[in-house]
Amino acid sequence: MSHPTAPTLDAQSASLPASSLWSKSPIIGALIGLLGLGGMFATGGFHGEGLFAYLVAYLFFFSLAMGALFFVVIQHATRAGWSVVVRRLAEILSMGFPALLVLFAPIAFGAHDLYHWTHLDVVATDPILKAKSGYLNMGFWLGRAIFYLVASSAYAWFFYSNSVKQDANGDLAYSHKTRGASYPALPVLALSVTFAAFDWSMSLDPHWFSTMFGVCFFAGGMIALLATLAIMGHSLKTTGPLAVVTTEHFHDIGKLLFGFTVFWSYVNFSQFMLIWYANIPEETTWFAHRWIEFGWDKFSIFLAIGHFALPFFFLMTRHTKRNKVTLLIASFWMLAMHYLDLFWQVMPTEQHHGPHFSAAHGLSMLMIGGFFFALVGVFLKKSSLVPVKDPRLSESLRFTNY
C-alpha cells in the first residue's frame, strides 16, 4: 500500500520523561542492590548454599542479557522491520553485561564451594575428572568466563552505540555496519552462551554431560528477554516514550514468547528422552537426582506443567497475546518459571532432600537484579528509547499483523 506521508518520530517524544519512575532506576536499583549485598553478607550468603542461590540469580540475569543481545543481533542479521520500535529496549537491556562482569566475582571466588572439580585431591583419585581436567581447571575456566563476559559486553556496546549514533543523523552506514557485524557475532555468542551454560551450570555435576544443555539455557534466556520486553514495553508505553509500540508489536512479542516456550519444551524433552531411552547410568544420574532420589519429582512435574503445558494453551490464541493484561500475566508467569527452571538446574547439587528456598535466594535476586537494572537505568536515560532515525522505523511504525 502506498502511504502519502511516511510516519516519523522525534527524539524528544521517545525519550524517558523525568517524571517516570524508570528515570530513577539507577538510584533505586543501586539501593536495592546494596540492600541485597548487605543482606547476603549479614546472612553469610557468600558461602556454601548461599552461593548456589547466588548462582541461580546470576544465571537468571545473564540469560536475560544474553537473550537481549541475541534479539538485537538477529534483528540486524534478518534486517527485521517490525521490531525497530522495541529494539532499543533490547539494546539497553544487553548493556547490563558490564554489571554482570563485576557480579561474577562471588562465583569466581566461591568456585571452590560450588564446583566439585575444583577440589584437586578429589580430581587426583577420580579417573573421569582427571580426564576432564584439561578443560575443567580453574585457570581455563576463569579465562573462558572472562572471555564470554567481555565479548558479550563488547558486542552489546557495539550494537548499542552504533544504533544511538544513528539517532543523530540517520546515516545508513550505521545500519550496514551493524548488519555486517551481526553475522560473525552469532557464532561467537552462540558458543559463549553454550559454553557458559556448560561451565557454570552443567559442571556443577562434573561427571555428567549433555550436548543439549547450552541450547536449553539459550531457550530460557530468550523467554526471559521476551517476557521482560513485554513488561517494560507496556510500562514505558503507559509512561509515554514507547507510545509508538502498538498491539501489533506486542502480538509479535507474544508469538515469540509462545514459540520459545514450545522450543524450551522441545529441547528439554529431547534431552530427557534420549537419556531416559539409552538408560546409561553415567547419563541418568542428573535426572535421577531431579526425580525421586533427591525428592525433586514434584518440582520437576510442576516445572513441566508450569513452564510448558499452561503457557502453551494460554498463549495459543491471538486474543491473549493482543490483550495487555493477559500478556502481562503470561510474561510475569514465564519469568517466575524461568527462575524455577534455573533453580531446578542448580539447586539439586546442594539440596538432596527436596527443594527449599532460603533468604539467600531472595537476597541474591535483589542484589544482582538491583545492580543490573541500575546500569540498565543509566542507559534508559541516556538516549531516546526508539531508534528515531533507523531506515526501517516507518515500516515498524505502521506494522500490522494479518
Partner 1 sequence: MASTATTTSTWGILAEFDSAAEIFHACEKVRDAGFANWDAHTPFPVHGLDDAMGLKASKLPWVVLVVGLSGTFTGTALQYWVHNYAYKLVISGKPYFAWPAYVPVIFEMSILFSAFATIFSIMGFCRLPRWNHPIFGSARFEKASDDKFFISIESADPKFEATRTAEFLKGLGAKHVELVEEEA
Binding site for partner 1 (CB under 8 A): 1-2, 269, 272-273, 276-277, 279, 316-317, 400, 402
- Centre a 10 Å sphere on the Cβ of residue 298 and count the other Cβ atoms it contains: 12
| Least distance in angstroms from the C-beta of 119 to partner 1 | 35
CB neighbour class for 310 (10 Å; exposed up to 12, middle 13-18, buried from 19): middle
| Least distance in angstroms from the C-beta of 178 to partner 1 | 27
CB–CB of 163/91 below 8 Å?
yes
Nearer to partner 1, 169 or 317 (CB): 317
CB–CB of 179/77 below 8 Å?
yes
CB neighbour class for 352 (10 Å; exposed up to 12, middle 13-18, buried from 19): exposed
Nearer to partner 1, 195 or 269 (CB): 269
| Least distance in angstroms from the C-beta of 272 to partner 1 | 7
Nearer to partner 1, 108 or 316 (CB): 316
| Least distance in angstroms from the C-beta of 270 to partner 1 | 9
Query: Looking up cell 539447586, which residue turns up?
Result: 347
C-alpha distances (whole Å) from 192 to each of 258, 286, 342 are 25, 23, 18
Nearer to partner 1, 42 or 274 (CB): 274
Name residue 107's amino acid. I
Nearer to partner 1, 298 or 356 (CB): 298
Nearer to partner 1, 135 or 312 (CB): 312
Nearer to partner 1, 80 or 378 (CB): 80
| Least distance in angstroms from the C-beta of 103 to partner 1 | 38
| Least distance in angstroms from the C-beta of 273 to partner 1 | 5
Nearer to partner 1, 163 or 271 (CB): 271
| Least distance in angstroms from the C-beta of 344 to partner 1 | 18
| Least distance in angstroms from the C-beta of 262 to partner 1 | 11
How big is the CA angle at 120 (ends 114 and 126), to the nearest 5 degrees?
95
